[in-house]
Amino acid sequence: QMFEITIQAAIGSKVIARET
Protein backbone atom coordinates (compact mmCIF):
# COMPACT_ATOMS: atom_id res chain seq x y z
CA GLN A 1 0.00 0.00 0.00
CA MET A 2 2.80 2.41 0.87
CA PHE A 3 4.49 1.61 -2.45
CA GLU A 4 1.40 2.69 -4.36
CA ILE A 5 1.25 5.95 -2.41
CA THR A 6 4.90 6.62 -3.26
CA ILE A 7 4.22 6.06 -6.96
CA GLN A 8 1.16 8.31 -6.86
CA ALA A 9 3.16 11.01 -5.05
CA ALA A 10 5.91 10.81 -7.67
CA ILE A 11 3.37 11.07 -10.50
CA GLY A 12 1.65 13.98 -8.78
CA SER A 13 4.98 15.77 -8.37
CA LYS A 14 5.71 15.26 -12.07
CA VAL A 15 2.33 16.68 -13.04
CA ILE A 16 2.79 19.69 -10.75
CA ALA A 17 6.31 20.29 -12.09
CA ARG A 18 4.96 20.14 -15.63
CA GLU A 19 2.13 22.58 -14.88
CA THR A 20 4.44 25.03 -13.16
Give the per-residue pLDDT at 7.
96
Q: Is the pTM of this model over 0.85?
A: no
Q: What is the DSSP letter of 10?
A: H
Q: d(Cα 13, Cα 19) in Å, to the nearest integer?
A: 10
Q: Pick the closest to residue 5 from 13, 20, 15, 18 (CA basis).
A: 13
Span 1-20, pLDDT tens digits: 789 999 999 999 999 999 88
CA–CA separation, 17 vs 3, rounded Å?
A: 21
Supply φ then ψ for residue 14, to 5 degrees. Answer: -65, -45
**d(Cα 13, Cα 6) in Å, to the nearest integer?**
10
